[in-house]
Amino acid sequence: MTAAHLTAVTLPIHRSTPLDPPAEYQHLREQSPVTPLAFPDGTSGWLITRHDDVRAVLADDRFSSNRENASSPIRRPQFQPQDRAGMLLSMDPPEHTHYRRMLTRYFTVRRMHALAPRIEEIVAEHLDAMGAAGPPSDLVPDFARPIPSLVICELLGVPYADREQFQRWTANLLSIHATEDQIREGIEALRQYTRDLIADKRKSPDDALIGTLIRAGEQDPEANYLTDEELAGISRLLLIAGHETTANMLALGTYTLLCNPGQLPSMLDGANGTARAVEELMRYLTIVHFGTVRVAREDIDFRGQHIRAGQTVMMSLASANRDPNQFDQPDVLNLNREHSQHVAFGHGVHQCLGQQLARVEMQIAFPALFRRFPTLRLAVPAEQVPMRDDMFVYGVHALPVTWDTKAAG
């Protein structure tokens, strides 16, 4: 079947149940896995829904990550910042390779596991505060949001006291209903904030990541020098990604476990059990729920369809992670599921740089929460929990919980 015989669809965004992607994806995977997609700006492109196809596109250098000419499948505003310095997500090799190689050494498995004792302290401090305040609690501001925010702030060397500012700017950028003015305001505010931060670090670099990058550039300018704009761009990317995604996984993951209490023993079943459970939660929930985009560099024949140069291609990570050709009973949450090649962190050269940090944070935070509060439960009916349908990163806006104080550890 060619594109001429296919009707362009709009991106499915409406869920019938809060933990499952839109039902239309099942039909698309079966009947039209590479289907024409109509974008709000009037252009046409493609939607990819099968697991193997999503991985294939993400690993294919004929598809560009440069978003300057990409269409958004969700909103019409197309304001683009004037500079892309340091913004790895919008770069292709070899430019992307230069930055990625420079940063990868700071996000290795070994380095992230070395942070575990400090992450355990941060988690314990917030659990202590929850216990002291007593139930009920909103788990989003009391636990899920501050833990990754504090971790990434300490890792980068960003003042944690500034978190409310950058979280507010980030919220505007990630809202699917944001106006062009709100997007511009958020981008400019974050840009100026990180510029000022880099200027301060230049004067007195510390031992955190930004200061370390500055000193590395001073010691070996030919290999490691980064301009202030490049450092600011890298800082913005890591700051947003480092707190927003993990915070929503912690909150939505907790909601999921509270709605599926029979699965909880698997999360608490030692280090290996916890690691499997976290991977399954990431697959099952896929909080980057609208997917990710690429732009065709040239005309490409792909899975029987002709993709024209310049067209935007949208990969649905949520659909790929529910593909029955890749996962047995994909719509069933199974925290004992053996290793699977989920794409919650993406795939290819742009696979999430901070994925090991996110894993360590979740593998520490989830068991600690449920061991400290074994009677933890929702304080409102599950259907009353406000979901982040209006955001590019899925999750919950609030998570009211309660517990029996006598049972708290």
What is the number of domains present in the chain?
1
Domain membership of residue 286 as a residue range: 3-377
3-class DSSP state for residue 162?
helix
3-class DSSP state for residue 16?
coil
pLDDT single digits (tens) 184-239: 888 889 899 999 999 999 998 889 999 999 998 888 887 778 889 999 999 999 98
Count how many Cα atoms sit within 13 Å of the Cα of residue 406 in the half-sphere of its side chain: 0
pLDDT at 1: 42
- pLDDT band at 149, cuts 50/70/90? very high
pLDDT single digits (tens) 100-131: 988 999 999 999 999 999 999 999 999 999 99
In the predicted model, what is the mean pLDDT of the chain?
Answer: 91
- Residue 156 contacts residue 239 (beta carbons within 8 Å): yes
The dihedral region occupied by 86, where left means phi > 0, alpha psi between -120 and 50, and beta the remainder, is left
Whether 217 is in a domain gets the answer yes
pLDDT single digits (tens) 365-383: 999 999 999 999 999 999 9
Q: What is the mean pLDDT of residues 283-289?
A: 96
Whether 200 is in a domain gets the answer yes
367 burial level (CB within 10 Å; 0-12, 13-18, 19+): buried
Four-CA torsion 251, 253, 255, 259, nearest 10 degrees: 180
Whether 392 is in a domain gets the answer no
**Alpha-carbon span 332 to 157, nearest angstrom:** 40
Q: Write down how long the chain is.
A: 409
What Å distances lie between residue 335 and 97, 245, 253, 257, 265, CA to CA?
35, 20, 12, 10, 9
- Please name the residues in contact with 148: beta carbons below 8 A apart, sequence gap of 6 or more: 242, 243, 246, 247, 250, 358, 361
Whether 133 is in a domain gets the answer yes
Any idea what the CATH number is for the domain that residue 207 is in?
1.10.630.10
Whether 399 is in a domain gets the answer no
Return the higher-pLDDT residue of 144 and 66: 144
pLDDT single digits (tens) 3-44: 546 788 999 999 999 999 999 999 999 999 999 999 998 899
pLDDT at 77: 56
Whether 404 is in a domain gets the answer no
pLDDT single digits (tens) 315-359: 999 999 999 999 999 999 999 998 779 999 999 999 999 999 999
Whether 407 is in a domain gets the answer no
Residue with tokens 């440069």: 66
pLDDT exceeding 70 applies to what percent of the chain?
96
pLDDT exceeding 90 applies to what percent of the chain?
71
Whether 371 is in a domain gets the answer yes
